[in-house]
Amino acid sequence: MWYRDHEILYTTSCGSITMGRVICIVNQKGGVGKTTTSVNLASCIALAEKSSLLIDLDPQANASSGLGIRLSAGEPSVYDLLLSREVHQRIIRRTALDCLDILPASQDLIGAEIEFVSLESRERMLSTALETIRPLYDYIFIDCPPSLGFLTLNAMVAADSALIPVQCEYYALEGVGNLLKTIRRVQSAFNHSLEIEGFLLTMFDPRNNLSHQVVADVQDHFSSQVFDSIIPRNVRLSESPSFGKPVVLYDITSSGALRYMSLSQEIMNAEGERDGEKAYSIGARS
């Protein structure tokens, strides 16, 4: 298989002629489902034959291993892309899904914040690196680490939108205020067009009253910005990464797979509506 042989990619999986929509999956709180969402959302969108790239921007490299990629020392990673030390064709790899590629992470990223401190425009390193990659994909997802540091800032500066997973548990909204403040700062200082893609409720347990309470609170706070698709707590979602597979290749009939499919549909529909509005406003002007 491609990724097991550590083959290097010279062409992308599915041809694309549009500018990819870049969505960062962000929440500084740990363990809320960022990586599970990144891997499975990107996979479901790829199943719909939209060419997709998943960028693993977390030194933990969980998105990479979740898709069966573990880099050996010295193999090029997203770290080399940020430094423009390596061309993207030598870093991006194919996955078991035809339309999904991955830009894997390595532990080199751990030191990036300190190493890059004196570089100019260091918050735009990813955005600059993506200029040549964006036209190759319909969708690009960025899995962020659990912090609001340099790497997450780079993701927000490069992205069109932020998708915010919120775990259905006690203190679910803890830290979301700070996250929204950070997004507003990024909007005014670096990226005026950064939008909120939506809030995603994760690890919902229908037998737990608290889960229902969190859903009601989040819907109350953020109303139409909350995705209709709610991700259930599902053991298949937690098992599939240890097989290096997205859940759709592990158990496509599981409730987790079905919900991530419906989330991917919501995101593609929203994009369709945005394109329709753009076409309408251009038509109305001419």
Tokens representing 165 are: 């997973």
Which of Mg ion, ligand ATP, none does 233 bind, CB closer than 5 to 8 A by kind? ligand ATP
Under a CB-based contact definition with an 8 Å cutoff, are residues 236 and 257 in contact?
A: yes
Under a CB-based contact definition with an 8 Å cutoff, are residues 18 and 26 in contact?
A: no
Which of Mg ion, ligand ATP, none does 51 bind, CB closer than 5 to 8 A by kind? none
Which of Mg ion, ligand ATP, none does 234 bind, CB closer than 5 to 8 A by kind? ligand ATP
Q: How far is the CB of 34 from Mg ion (least distance, A)?
A: 5
Between 12 and 234, name the residue whose CB sits nearer to Mg ion: 234
Between 21 and 233, name the residue whose CB sits nearer to ligand ATP: 233
Give the angle 97-101-106 at the CA atoms, nearest 5°.
Answer: 125
List residues binding ligand ATP (CB under 6 A). Answer: 30-36, 58, 60, 62, 146, 202-203, 231, 233-234, 237-238, 256
Q: How far is the CB of 32 from ligand ATP (least distance, A)?
A: 4
- Using CB positions, name the residue nearest to Mg ion: 35
List residues binding Mg ion (CB under 5 A). Answer: 34-35, 62
Under a CB-based contact definition with an 8 Å cutoff, are residues 122 and 39 in contact?
A: no
Which of Mg ion, ligand ATP, none does 237 bind, CB closer than 5 to 8 A by kind? ligand ATP
Q: How far is the CB of 239 from ligand ATP (least distance, A)?
A: 8
| Separation CA 212–CA 131 (nearest Å) | 42
Helix, strand, coil shares, percent, the chain, to 5: 45, 15, 40
Between 36 and 106, name the residue whose CB sits nearer to ligand ATP: 36
Q: Which amino acid is at 132?
A: T
Q: How far is the CB of 103 from ligand ATP (least distance, A)?
A: 17
Under a CB-based contact definition with an 8 Å cutoff, are residues 245 and 68 in contact?
A: yes
Q: How far is the CB of 173 from ligand ATP (least distance, A)?
A: 15
Between 62 and 240, name the residue whose CB sits nearer to Mg ion: 62
How does DSSP classify residue 53?
A: E
Between 56 and 123, name the residue whose CB sits nearer to ligand ATP: 56
Between 103 and 136, name the residue whose CB sits nearer to ligand ATP: 103
Q: How far is the CB of 166 from ligand ATP (least distance, A)?
A: 11
Give the angle 191-24-246 at the CA atoms, nearest 5°.
Answer: 165
Q: What is the DSSP string of 113-141?
A: HHHTTTSTTGGGHHHHHHTTTGGG-SEEE
| Separation CA 33–CA 27 (nearest Å) | 9
